[in-house]
Structure 1
Amino acid sequence: LIPEFSDAATQQRFCELISATDETGGLQRRGDVRETAWLLGIQLSVRVVPDSIGGVASILAGMGGQLDVAAEEELKQACSVSPEQAPLVIASVGGNAGAGHWRSLANAAHAASQFVQANGVVVLLSDLNESVGTATRFLADLDDESAGRRVMESQQPDQIIAMELLRLRGICRIYFCCGGRQDELEEIGVGFAANISEIENLCTEYDKCVVLHGADRVIPVQA
């Protein structure tokens, strides 16, 4: 019923919200869903809670507001991990490449930063198969302060991963194993692993390694 049978302005607003990847867009989408359900007289809602590796942790049913709180708690329990420091962290990212995938990459990079030791190595595994984004290209600037300022001003879809990579490369070395171009990644100070064999060779250089499956959903918590 909504937005298919709404006026043009309402349909356009919903299209903009669906394409939005920022937190504000997500909150507004959820608010619209709750309001629509209330207008239709729907009292019972269902929440499917994902786990950190792409599966389903639990399925909950109940009233909207209370259900959201319970689902958030279930998600934290399903995806929370106590950080264990290691010189090498391999973090895989699920999902399809696209605008939202930049946020997934940023989440994975942030999670990995909680596990890697100082001057260690983080390897990000992703199915992303596109050129480095506009904001991320600014990391080629030798001056981190200048690069950070230009990234913040860019307002590009890849802004969040650009900021996370800028922060992460001050802690450790970064490698990408993805479909991106090696020359573009190296220009921004990121190493390139062409295949799993190269990652396996990298593993032989360290006595300890942490592997984070679905790292974009992992929630690091202190024990």
Structure 2
Amino acid sequence: MHPESITFRSGKIAATVRSDSVQLLVSCEASDLSVAEMCRQALLSPIGLPEVTRCVVPGDTIGIVIDPETPDLIEVLTTVCEQLQSVPEGGVTLQLLLPPDPAHAGWTALVDQLPLHLRQQLTVHGHDPEETDQLSYLASSAAGDRVYLNRRISDADLLITIGVICFDSLLGYRGTTSCIFPAFSDTYAIQQARTLGHPELTPEQPRPWRQLVDEVGWLLGTQFCVQIVPGSGDRPLAVLAGLPDDVMVAGKELVEQVWNLPSGRQFDSIVLSVPASASSGWKQFGNAVELATKLIPQNGRIIVVADLPVPEGPGAMMLRRSLEPEELLKPLRREPVDDSVEITQLIHALRHARVYLYSNIPSDIVEELGIIAIEDAAELQKLTTAAGSCAALPHANYAWVG
């Protein structure tokens, strides 16, 4: 029995449209288990490795490296730490290693969400690529590039990566070691990764950045990873743990089953959402609107539900002041800034379609970006009803059109 409505959730925003006005492109059965229980089971029965507490010995220093865009991150991180705290005879030292914060706030909002007892037992380190004394030389890659990483990563007795396995235009597949490199490398490596991906390739086709990420993982040696496979609703499709290579294989299979959309279908309009966060919401937005252009014709409508922060990055400010957005494409490519990729994706989407946004951002700022602001849920429903054909794609940033 089909539901009468489809709800799009993004951060603190929820918007509902009638299901008879849209075609839902992605749907999967959510587990009855809580995220914490899914994670606990994965840690007790990991793929390719013993349970996590048997991978360490008392006195070890454990580096927990996270991808801040991971769904249900706080629940997963809390469960991982609680399992590690059960190690007897003196226990282990837990270090939470965080990449550079795009908001330059030291990830305060993220850390403050952790339970108090966990904050008291974790040592939190934020990576600053400009502090060269934080860096340690790992090795030279096969291509001859010198690879530097935060020395706490190199010095840890065991690394545990917490991330998300999903399609990624730059990497093919995001996940496992991609939360380590280049985010915890030097300024040069991070800058080089600020580039558009390869949407013309299939996810399985070789990509230089994924090859380098995998090489860095091999140079670091065996790690333990905990990875979320996102679902289309409020809960993940799966939580996988164990040996990175084996986890990636299992994760890819699930991602392909749910998130790989067949090519060739076209709709007059598409309604989509992104999970959204203060640090990465616009990045997710850029990925989503880029994908949406493959599902609608020229001059179609892309309708986004997203709880986004006011865009204040250098690329966004350039776009807000510009009368000719397309003239920004060359400078954004030639001298990339923090938000070059997502602003470039937005400009390309605006060339292809009319883009609408239902958010909490003031309408005048939305319109400065070339986007049409949706004022309320009634207007959102009116847009979907008026379309000759309309698709619905929750969490569109995870999808791929194959």
The alignment's TM-score, normalised by the length of structure 2, stands at: 0.46
Structure 2: stretches of 5+ with no match in the other structure: 1-60, 64-94, 96-122, 126-132, 136-150, 155-179, 195-208
In the alignment, which of 1, 4, 17 is matched to residue 183 of structure 2? 17
- In the alignment, the residues of structure 2 paired with residue 90 and residue 60 of structure 1 have an alpha-carbon distance, to the nearest angstrom, of 30
| The 10-residue stretch of structure 1 (152-161 or 45-54) with the greater mean CA deviation from structure 2 | 45-54
- In the alignment, the residues of structure 1 paired with residue 233 and residue 392 of structure 2 have an alpha-carbon distance, to the nearest angstrom, of 12
Larger relative contact order (CA 8 Å, sep ≥ 6): 1
- Identity among equivalent positions (%) equals 21
Structure 2 residue 324 is the aligned partner of structure 1 residue 135: no
What is the CA distance between 1:37 and its match in structure 2?
4.4
Identify the residue that residue 217 of structure 1 maps to in structure 2: 398
Code of the aligned partner of 1:211: A
What is the CA distance between 1:185 and its match in structure 2?
2.0
Q: Deviations over 1:3-34 (max 9, x none)?
A: 549995524998x9369795869x75994698
In the alignment, which of 352, 366, 372 is matched to residue 171 of structure 1? 352
2:222/2:243 contact within 8 Å kept: no
Structure 2 residue 261 is the aligned partner of structure 1 residue 81: yes
Shift in CA distance, 79/177, structure 1 to aligned 2, threshold 3 Å = same
| The 10-residue stretch of structure 1 (166-175 or 143-152) with the greater mean CA deviation from structure 2 | 143-152
Identify the residue that residue 109 of structure 1 maps to in structure 2: 289
What is the CA distance between 1:63 and its match in structure 2?
3.8
Code of the aligned partner of 1:105: F
Structure 2 residue 231 is the aligned partner of structure 1 residue 65: no
- In the alignment, the residues of structure 2 paired with residue 80 and residue 208 of structure 1 have an alpha-carbon distance, to the nearest angstrom, of 21
Q: Across the two proteins, how many residue pairs are aligned to each other? A: 214
RMSD over equivalenced CA pairs, Å? 3.6
Structure 2 residue 150 is the aligned partner of structure 1 residue 150: no
2:226/2:239 contact within 8 Å kept: yes
Structure 2 residue 386 is the aligned partner of structure 1 residue 205: yes
Code of the aligned partner of 2:299: N
What SS does structure 1 have at the residue aligned with 2:183? Answer: helix
- In the alignment, the residues of structure 2 paired with residue 88 and residue 171 of structure 1 have an alpha-carbon distance, to the nearest angstrom, of 12
Code of the aligned partner of 2:315: A
Structure 2 residue 220 is the aligned partner of structure 1 residue 35: yes
Code of the aligned partner of 1:208: S
Structure 1: stretches of 5+ with no match in the other structure: none
What is the CA distance between 1:108 and its match in structure 2?
0.8
Shift in CA distance, 34/65, structure 1 to aligned 2, threshold 3 Å = farther
Task: Give the number of the structure whose residues are more often helix, by fraction.
Answer: 1
- In the alignment, the residues of structure 2 paired with residue 106 and residue 32 of structure 1 have an alpha-carbon distance, to the nearest angstrom, of 28
What SS does structure 1 have at the residue aligned with 2:268? Answer: strand
- In the alignment, the residues of structure 2 paired with residue 203 and residue 178 of structure 1 have an alpha-carbon distance, to the nearest angstrom, of 17
Identify the residue that residue 118 of structure 2 maps to in structure 1: none
What SS does structure 2 have at the residue aligned with 1:175? Answer: strand
Code of the aligned partner of 1:206: A
The alignment's TM-score, normalised by the length of structure 1, stands at: 0.77
